[in-house]
Structure 1
Amino acid sequence: MQEIFGTTDLSIIYKKGTSAESVALHDVNFKAYPEEFVVVYGPSGCGKSTLIYALTGIERNIDTGEVWVNGKNVASMKPQDLLVLHRFDVGMIFQSYNLISTLDVLQNVTLPLLAAGVPPRERKKKAQVLLERFRISHLVKRYPSQLSGGQQQRVAIARALITDPDIIVADEPTGNLDSESTEIVLNQLLELNVRDKKTILLVTHDPSFITYADRVLYMKDGQIVKIEEKKGSRILTSATDVTTAVKPATSLEFGSSPFDNEPSDELTFEQLSKVSCINDFAKAVAREPEPILERRLNHILIEVAVLKLAKRDALFVLQKPRPQGGMGYASEYAMDILTKMDGLFELRDWLTRQPASKRLSPLSRLYIERWLFGIRYGTLSTKQEEVFEGCLTRYLSQQIDGAEFSRLLSESIEHGGVGLVGVNTNKFVERLIPVMQLIPKQRTHG
């Protein structure tokens, strides 16, 4: 498959050769393919935004290397070529919305078509379709100052789509939004990827977004330090093909297995250990009263965790009506379940590597803080995270028992504890048991 955009040995250096020299990007190499959901993840100042601005031709100060979109070198584009790129190939969504305050919603959305010379009636018709899709058609006469942050961002998304570009670039699109609006915007981006076959390039420092990516670029200090490709992300050619990958309800009722096409004696320990935990996990997060639905959910989660069904395709099935073989979940709830499961298995991987392990991954910390502790992600300080990891390691190596582990979670930092306030630490220790079931036995009893 032909790459849709990427970079080769890209470096951007500001004020080169002076005492104020600053390396924004250094030898950045990556490729992305049509219909992928690509996430650029890293802390503030790591070069994420610089990278996407170079890709879209906004950043022109390229020191060395190449940047290309649809086979064209962006760095060598003339101004008129960049206009074509921005009007028809790439749609941009910014954290600050960048709406024009003196134009109403309809005028903001249709502005790219106005610049392209599209007649008024056609502009309005195309805009109306998008405004209705994003449930803001009743706001057409309002100005940006009369909209909430979430509404402004939906207007910005509609504007980015008005020329029907193949690529949507989103720079921290939820950075100024509350949690509810964040979920709405993420749902819309996922829908654009799945239903409309748009290639998404999303910049974020929120680890929960990683779950839905086909490809993740981890950045630090102007470099891509890791590229994670989600295995099996191209399994299905479209969301409508999901039913051929996940068995319908009628077959599940008669006890079919997601491993019907997999020789049971070839399953690895890791696959079997994941399967053994999914049943308890599904019960904990979904609490389905009907055995048929419980088996169906288990089946879908096994497809994701073990057989590498793409997340976006799993989302389609989880949201699909129950009579049609799905779970009938709301999109936010479906995403919540998949994010929890990803965090669960990343935490399991960290636990398996003990005692010689690196720090917990962002997704593992998200899982621990948000779903095991029940607190807002980012609440724990770096010191608290370090103490927690030390206590957890001692608990796993049986240097301390569950009661002492629970006490240390509540104990203040000054007295050697984690300093959790308002958290049921005993319940946390109980919730950790299903995670520990995923660890090879020689690791938990050594």
Structure 2
Amino acid sequence: MNSGDDVFQERGSEGALTVRSDGERPEESSAILVKLENIHKTYLIGGDGIPALRGVSLSIRRGEFVAVYGNSGGGKSSLLHVIGTIDRASKGELMLFGNRISIHTKDAVLADLRLYKIGFVFQSFNLLPSLTARENVELPMLLADSKRHFNAAERKRRSMYLLEKVGMKHRADNYPAQMSGGEQQRVTIARALVNEPQLLLLDEPTGDLDSANTDLVMEYILDIFHSQRLTIVMVTHDLGLRNYADRVVQIRDGVITGDSLIGTEIRDRVRKQLREQTNMHSSNRVSDLRPVDEPREIDEKEFGKSLVVGDFEKIRQATGGSISDDDEARRVRTSVRMPADYAKMWS
């Protein structure tokens, strides 16, 4: 789409991610990016143990697009949350980026993985309602430590680049309430990518969208998959979305019941159909921009103090300095159950 893909490879010194000519980062010597062995996850509810995962073993190679398919309650989201270190496995071994993750792994280590190597997109968007699209995308960069410090100009440049990649540059100064569900989800995707993750986790990314917005969001996800050479794991209960992936893993009652590759002919056909459908949607599209008074004050329930949106320094002050360059504060604030939900970080 945009020739500016090198925007993420320009920093040649502090905090830069070196990329070889073949597109691989040097630290990724192994082809296996994610490996689970005999993973169990049990939730305690009312004193009873409810098994969500029962002996799951799975390997995901770098550069794969894997769809995890199954009915509600089958363990799809639990599997994704274990892979993303949102939840810890009750038993078994998880390897991420060559690192062994166990119940003893420190929260600070997991926080760094979530902040720098894993991007999350959830069904419920999790955008802060009182920040614009661009400000929402900039938030992960504000959480970055001093080794990867982004000044205001770079934050704006990177956020605008990604908003353009997902077709949302024209909405940069709009609030979530002014956007449709599909537009909010595209902003969420841009935010998930802003810190250059190696792994993108999608939990029912189109679950709250109509068919037209589902097509648009999937088109952008596929474009990003090919242009950024990401590894993607997408959880879905939608039969129609499975064929966009390279591989489908089926899970039922916490057990993997199927694991198969999607044939090239099928995949190419459904992706061609998707392009045709999104072109049709784009040509028929009518803007649904909703008016919102600006600037407006954030509800005191959100941050505990009143402030005008757009002023990041006031956001830092209102959150008690929880967004700062302080390493320990960053680690504590990013060691949360839902790292994409920045509102919860500040609660």
Q: What interval of TM-score do these two structures reach, taking the shorter chain for normalisation?
A: 0.5 to 0.7
CA distance in 1, matches of 2:188, 2:274: 24
**Alignment counterpart, residue 195 of structure 1, candidates 209, 219, 227:** 227
Within a 5 Å distance, the mapping from 1:356-371 to structure 2 comes to: none
Within a 5 Å distance, the mapping from 1:326-345 to structure 2 comes to: 331-333=275-277
1:27 counterpart residue number: 55
Q: For residues 334 and 140 of structure 1, do their structure 2 counterparts lie closer, same or farther at Cα, with a shift above 3 Å needed?
A: closer
1:65 counterpart residue number: 92
Report the alpha carbon displacement of residue 74 of structure 1 after superposing the two structures with TM: 3.0
Q: For residues 230 and 179 of structure 1, do their structure 2 counterparts lie closer, same or farther at Cα, with a shift above 3 Å needed?
A: closer
Within a 5 Å distance, the mapping from 1:7-46 to structure 2 comes to: 7-15=36-44, 20-46=48-74
1:403 counterpart residue number: none
1:278 counterpart residue number: none
1:361 counterpart residue number: none
Alpha carbons 1:108, 1:159 under 8 Å: kept: yes
Question: One-letter code of the match for 2:136?
Answer: N
Report the alpha carbon displacement of residue 86 of structure 1 after superposing the two structures with TM: 1.4
RMSD: 2.3
Report the alpha carbon displacement of residue 230 of structure 1 after superposing the two structures with TM: 3.5
Identity of matched residues, %:
35
Q: For residues 126 and 222 of structure 1, do their structure 2 counterparts lie closer, same or farther at Cα, with a shift above 3 Å needed?
A: same
State the SS of the aligned residue for 2:191: helix
CA distance in 2, matches of 1:79, 1:120: 28
Question: One-letter code of the match for 1:22?
Answer: I
Structure 1 residue ranges without an equivalent (≥5): 234-303, 306-310, 319-328, 337-446
Report the alpha carbon displacement of residue 332 of structure 1 after superposing the two structures with TM: 3.8
Q: Which moved more, 1:92-101 or 1:69-78?
A: 69-78
Alpha carbons 1:56, 1:74 under 8 Å: kept: no
Alpha carbons 2:36, 2:57 under 8 Å: kept: yes
State the SS of the aligned residue for 1:86: helix
CA distance in 2, matches of 1:332, 1:179: 14
CA distance in 1, matches of 2:128, 2:105: 27
Alpha carbons 1:55, 1:74 under 8 Å: kept: no
Question: One-letter code of the match for 1:221?
Answer: D
Within a 5 Å distance, the mapping from 1:291-370 to structure 2 comes to: 304=265, 311=267, 318=272, 331-333=275-277
2:316 counterpart residue number: none
Alpha carbons 2:219, 2:274 under 8 Å: kept: no
Q: How many residues align?
A: 246
**Alignment counterpart, residue 2 of structure 1, candidates 3, 25, 31:** 31
State the SS of the aligned residue for 1:15: strand
**Alignment counterpart, residue 217 of structure 2, candidates 162, 185, 188:** 185
Report the alpha carbon displacement of residue 82 of structure 1 after superposing the two structures with TM: 1.6
Report the alpha carbon displacement of residue 122 of structure 1 after superposing the two structures with TM: 0.7
Report the alpha carbon displacement of residue 43 of structure 1 after superposing the two structures with TM: 0.3
**Alignment counterpart, residue 249 of structure 2, candidates 217, 227, 230:** 217
Within a 5 Å distance, the mapping from 1:10-409 to structure 2 comes to: 10-15=39-44, 20-60=48-88, 62-75=89-102, 76-116=104-144, 117-230=149-262, 304=265, 311=267, 318=272, 331-333=275-277
Between structures 1 and 2, the one with greater strand share: 2
TM-score, L = length of structure 2: 0.66
Structure 2 residue ranges without an equivalent (≥5): 1-29, 281-347
Alpha carbons 2:243, 2:270 under 8 Å: kept: no
Q: For residues 126 and 47 of structure 1, do their structure 2 counterparts lie closer, same or farther at Cα, with a shift above 3 Å needed?
A: same
Report the alpha carbon displacement of residue 184 of structure 1 after superposing the two structures with TM: 0.6
Alpha carbons 1:315, 1:334 under 8 Å: kept: no
State the SS of the aligned residue for 1:39: strand
Report the alpha carbon displacement of residue 77 of structure 1 after superposing the two structures with TM: 2.9
1:395 counterpart residue number: none
Alpha carbons 2:244, 2:270 under 8 Å: kept: no
State the SS of the aligned residue for 2:229: coil
Alpha carbons 2:67, 2:245 under 8 Å: kept: yes
Task: Please list the CA deviations of residues 7-50 of structure 1 after superposition, one character each: whole Å capped at 9, or x if unmatched.
Answer: 1000011239x862211100001111111110000000001001
CA distance in 1, matches of 2:153, 2:240: 41
Q: Which moved more, 1:138-147 or 1:106-115?
A: 138-147
Question: One-letter code of the match for 2:73?
Answer: G
State the SS of the aligned residue for 1:169: strand
Question: One-letter code of the match for 2:109?
Answer: D
State the SS of the aligned residue for 2:228: coil
Larger radius of gyration: 1
Question: One-letter code of the match for 1:225?
Answer: T
Alpha carbons 1:183, 1:332 under 8 Å: kept: no
Alpha carbons 1:126, 1:162 under 8 Å: kept: yes
Q: For residues 332 and 175 of structure 1, do their structure 2 counterparts lie closer, same or farther at Cα, with a shift above 3 Å needed?
A: farther
Q: For residues 179 and 29 of structure 1, do their structure 2 counterparts lie closer, same or farther at Cα, with a shift above 3 Å needed?
A: same
Report the alpha carbon displacement of residue 333 of structure 1 after superposing the two structures with TM: 4.2
Task: Please list the CA deviations of residues 290-310 of structure 1 after superposition, one character each: whole Å capped at 9, or x if unmatched.
Answer: xxxxxxxxxxxxxx26xxxxx
Task: Please list the CA deviations of residues 150-191 of structure 1 after superposition, one character each: whole Å capped at 9, or x if unmatched.
Answer: 110010000001111111100000000010000011111111
State the SS of the aligned residue for 1:4: strand
CA distance in 2, matches of 1:38, 1:216: 6
Larger RCO of the pair (alpha carbons < 8 Å, separation 6+) = 2
State the SS of the aligned residue for 1:45: coil
TM-score, L = length of structure 1: 0.52
Between structures 1 and 2, the one with greater helix share: 1
Task: Please list the CA deviations of residues 100-158 of structure 1 after superposition, one character each: whole Å capped at 9, or x if unmatched.
Answer: 11211111001000111421111101111111122211212211111110110010000
Report the alpha carbon displacement of residue 229 of structure 1 after superposing the two structures with TM: 2.6
1:425 counterpart residue number: none
CA distance in 2, matches of 1:5, 1:29: 11
Question: One-letter code of the match for 2:115?
Answer: R
